[in-house]
Chains A and B, each alone.
Chain A
Amino acid sequence: MIDTNVDLFQWPFRRLAGDDPASLVINLRNKGVTQAWACSYEGLLYRDMAGVNARLAAAARQYGPNFLVPFGSINPKLPDWQEEVRRCAEVHKMPGLRLHPNYHGYTLDDPAAGELFSLAAGKNLLVQIAVSMEDIRTQNPLVKIPPVDPGPLADLMKRSPNLRVQLLNAGYHGGANTRHMGDISRLENLYYDFACQESVAGVAKLVAQTSPERVLFGSHYPFFYFESSFLKVYEAGLPAEQETAVLEGNARRLLGSGAAQS
């Protein structure tokens, strides 16, 4: 099982089981995960993104070699963010980036998003976009952050046709349930996890709405209980080949077999 949606270190507003890299790796291995695509909670609010990504890369090497696959945080509103994209790709050998446009104060129709997509496509990086991290209704009242509107992806991805993008945490708080879904669900290079996909058998609905090849297992652990996404796969009752693809095959194909070695 490949988990495409985990984070290292401490959530800014609460201590979580598994919020140190060593225990996160132990816990995920105990739950049957063989590879985890990990970003850093520090990337939400910190501004020294070079430090954030260096710590992430070091933790992945120390605690999860051949297990943790680091995804760098990029904020295209910070000075010289292009250099940080270069470091993620060339220094840290990361296979992808994870964006949090809502925490970083831009929308996907911002020119900076287009430039970032273009740069990522040129370096063959997978781009993950976290549509939401937390239900806005339960956020700290001083830090209210609505979900990302994925609608502009329909145009944005046409301008970078080779770029692979994965939407994380879409669904209940935006994304897969928005009015734009009709447009973006047809994009062949757009992939999904289902940590925030709700309703009974929601994974089966997402597969039907998009494609069995473009839905990947993601838990949003440790912020969410890992078992949520695991049980969603079971609840969906997918055919066996689709279940295998969702749990592992699609992720392996998307990232390529050399990802864990990076």
Chain B
Amino acid sequence: MKINRRKFIRRTGLAAAAMGGGIIDSSVRSEPLPGAAWAGGQAGPLTLADLPTVLKSYRIWDVHTHLNRFAGATTEEKVDDCLRFADRMGVERMLLLTAASFGGGGEPEHPNPEDLRLMNDECIKAVKKAPDRFFGCAFMNPNYLPACLEEINRCLRDGPLTGLKFEFDTPRHPGDGPHPTTYGAPRDLSVLDPIFQRAGELKAVIMHHTFMSTVGPQNVGESTPFEIVEVAKRHPNVTLFCGHTGGNWELGIWAVRGVNNAYADLSGSDPTSGYTEMAVRELGVEHVLYGSDIEGRSFASQISKVLGANISDSSRRLILGGNMRRLMEPVAKARGMQI
């Protein structure tokens, strides 16, 4: 009998609910972390001394990183500073979303074509400095569509980058405020279609910032995951990472549910207990990815969302790295890259 993904998730989700697993919690971890004490067959807490081995064993890949705030006068120096901590935390490889610093350290909220070129140049520098540690994204602002398509050719088709990053891309309606799923009236995001189409042709992955803040959008162009998955549905050959799963994860997880080419990025919010368990329960473990959102966040707080979750150890391994390796394989293969 054939069963589609939505039906499968519905059935398995209900089964989990019936067992009590994942709906609330169980009081004791189902599978302990495999620290040295555990590997030795002795029950005992994980210690700081165990962590180098334990973290490395997960082969962590990080789907959401920025270099902007790391120490260093140049992008290459920021790469060195970042890798110092990535090595310590056992992070093998990262999807780099932005590298350039603009004055205060962040990227401009509405970059013009010149800003885009500058940002993407810095990202290329980072990838060239550590090609076995970073995948890189070209930053997009669809308000400058021709410039975006040019940047895709320059940085992806003819350059080393493998993904696209969107932040605050299209204005909202005047007066839009907090709303559980859309911040207001849904917008027409068809302006993204040509870029998604080109990404599909190049097998590039897309990371789109999404948030649904209780206090309203932090920027007039902020998107919710409910809006972005509608674009993804029109481009089923494109892999879409929903940045932060909308922040308000108890809502955002529902946006991703049942959209086969959309994935929950756990990054960039507080390490609130239950987040990962709910994502696994509703989406299936293959649709959940670890990301950190460094350097504004830490590797530590974000890895804890997976290591601390009451899920199986095999699930931890998929979320921390296995899923991203699977999803990056098509673009890496197309570019002749080893992963």
Contacts and interface: CB of A to CB of B under 8 A. Distances in A.
Most chain A CB atoms below 10 A, which of B24, B46, B273, B295: B273
Interface size class of A (residues with CB under 8 A): 35 or more
A6 B156 CA distance: 48
B51 A224 contact: no
Contacts of B294: 199-200
Secondary structure dominating the interface of B: loop
A135 B250 CA distance: 14
B270 interface: yes
B273 A198 contact: no
Contacts of A224: 270-273, 304
B153 interface: no
B304 A230 contact: yes
A141 B212 CA distance: 11
A221 to B, nearest CB: 8
Interface string B8-44: 0000000000000000111111001000000000000
A150 B327 CA distance: 45
B299 A135 contact: no
Given A32-B45, A232-B300, A200 B85 contact: yes
B269 to A, nearest CB: 7
B88 interface: yes
Secondary structure dominating the interface of A: loop
Interface string A233-254: 1110100000100000000000
Contacts of A237: 88
A172 B214 contact: no
A144 interface: yes
Interface string B299-310: 111011101111
Contact of A17 (B25, B47, B307): B25
B291 interface: no
Most chain A CB atoms below 10 A, which of B51, B272, B294: B272
B29 A137 contact: no
B154 interface: no
B69 interface: yes
Contact of B270 (A141, A172, A235): A172
Contact of A200 (B26, B178, B249, B299): B299
A198 B301 contact: yes
Contacts of A26: 27-28
A134 B213 CA distance: 13
B215 interface: yes
Interface in B244-264: 247-250
A140 interface: yes
A231 B272 CA distance: 15
A18 interface: yes
